[in-house]
C-alpha cells in the first residue's frame, strides 16, 4: 500500500491517495511544514471546507495530512459502510505517513479518529477530539425525518432539521447561517453526510475500550455546546491522560467561527 501523488495545487498543497487491500481508495491533501498532523473532518463538510479557515495557520506549524472521508475528494464513495470501515481508512493513512503523528478529528471524524487511534496506538503522539457525537443524538424519529428529506432530495430541509434537532442550534442562528456561504457547503455535502449518520446510528460506542490509551488526549468543546449530546465527558472519565479545553463563546464549529482560538488551543496542547 503506497502513496501516489495525483494532483498539485496552490500553496504547496499535494493531493495523495492510497489503495487499501480491500480496494478502497483513500485520498488526502498534504501541505505545510513541521511535525505531522492528520485531520479527520466531520459531516456536512469535506477535507477542504472543514478546515478552510485554519489551513493557513496550521501550515506554518505542521505538515498537515487532511483526509477526505468516503464520498469526498478522490476517496471511494460507498453505501452502507460502517464507522469501523472509516476508522480503518484513517488507520491506513496513519500507516502511510510513516512516522508518529498528531491526530485530530472533528464531530463524526472524531469518532473515526478515536477508533483509528485504538487500531494504531503505537503511532499516535497526541490525539485531539472535538465533540465526538453520541449515537443517542439520533433518535429513530429524527432519523426518519432526515431520511424523508433525503428521499425528496430536499437537502436544505435536511440540513435545517439536523442543525435544529440534532446539534440543537438556536433557530435564530440557523436563520442567520442560511445567509452565509457555509449553508451551501453543508447542503452540497448533505447526501454524503446521510451515509455518515446511518453508520453512526448503527455504531456501538463503548468508551471503556479506551481505558488503555495512554497517550495525551485533548477533548475540545465549545462553551456554548450542549454537553450531553457528545462523548466528551464520558471519554474524560475513562481516558488515563485526557484534558478538556473549552473554546469560549463557540459551539460545534469553532475551527470556522474562531480559527485563531482553535489553532492556539491545539498548538498549545500538541507542541
Please list the rounded mean pLDDT of every run of 10 residues in the chain (271 residues): 44 91 97 97 97 96 98 97 98 98 98 98 98 92 97 98 94 92 95 96 94 97 96 98 97 95 98 87
Residue 147 CA to its chain's centroid (Å) = 22
Which pLDDT value is given to residue 7?
Answer: 41
Tell me the C-alpha distance between 86 and 81, whole Å.
Answer: 8
Tell me the HSE value of 262 on the side-chain side, using a 13 A CA sphere. 27
Which pLDDT value is given to residue 75?
Answer: 98
Q: How far apart are the first and last CA of the chain?
A: 30
Which pLDDT value is given to residue 112?
Answer: 98
Domain ranges of the chain: 4-137+204-270, 140-195
Which pLDDT value is given to residue 11?
Answer: 57
Which pLDDT value is given to residue 8?
Answer: 38
Which pLDDT value is given to residue 1?
Answer: 54
Tell me the C-alpha distance between 167 and 152, whole Å.
Answer: 22
CATH class of the region 4-137+204-270: alpha beta
Element (H, E) at 117: helix 108-119
CB atoms inside a 10 Å sphere around CB 102: 25
Give the SS3 label for residue 3: coil
What is the longest distance spanned by two Cα atoms in the chain? 48
CB atoms inside a 10 Å sphere around CB 194: 20
User: Cβ contacts of residue 193 below 8 Å, gap of 6+?
Assistant: 43, 44
Amino acid at each position: 500500500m503506497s502513496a501516489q501523488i495525483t494532483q498539485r495545487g496552490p500553496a504547496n498543497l499535494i493531493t495523495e491517495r492510497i489503495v487499501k487491500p480491500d480496494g478502497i481508495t483513500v485520498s488526502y491533501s498534504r501541505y505545510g511544514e513541521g511535525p505531522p498532523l492528520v485531520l479527520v473532518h466531520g459531516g456536512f463538510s469535506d477535507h477542504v471546507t472543514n478546515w478552510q479557515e485554519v489551513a493557513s495557520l496550521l501550515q506554518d506549524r505542521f505538515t498537515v495530512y487532511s483526509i477526505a472521508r468516503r464520498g469526498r475528494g478522490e476517496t471511494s464513495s460507498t453505501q452502507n459502510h460502517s464507522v469501523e470501515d472509516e476508522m480503518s481508512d484513517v488507520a491506513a493513512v496513519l500507516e502511510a505517513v510513516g512516522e508518529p503523528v498528531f491526530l485530530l478529528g472533528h464531530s463524526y471524524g472524531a469518532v473515526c479518529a478515536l477508533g483509528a487511534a485504538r487500531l494504531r496506538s503505537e503511532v499516535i503522539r497526541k490525539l485531539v477530539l472535538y465533540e465526538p457525537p453520541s449515537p443517542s443524538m439520533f433518535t429513530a424519529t429524527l432519523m426518519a425525518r432526515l431520511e424523508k428529506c433525503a428521499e425528496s432530495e430536499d437537502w436544505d430541509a435536511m440540513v435545517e432539521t439536523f442543525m435544529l434537532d440534532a446539534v440543537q442550534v438556536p433557530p435564530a442562528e440557523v436563520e442567520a447561517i442560511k445567509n452565509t456561504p457555509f449553508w451551501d457547503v453543508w447542503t452540497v455535502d448533505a447526501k454524503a453526510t446521510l451515509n455518515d449518520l446511518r453508520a453512526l446510528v448503527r455504531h456501538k460506542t463503548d468508551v471503556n475500550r479506551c481505558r488503555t490509551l495512554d497517550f495525551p488526549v485533548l477533548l475540545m468543546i465549545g462553551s456554548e455546546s450542549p454537553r450531553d449530546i457528545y462523548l466528551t465527558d464520558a471519554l474524560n472519565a475513562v481516558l488515563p491522560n485526557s484534558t478538556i479545553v473549552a473554546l469560549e463563546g463557540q459551539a460545534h464549529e469553532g475551527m470556522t467561527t474562531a480559527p485563531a482560538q482553535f489553532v492556539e488551543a491545539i498548538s498549545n496542547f500538541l507542541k
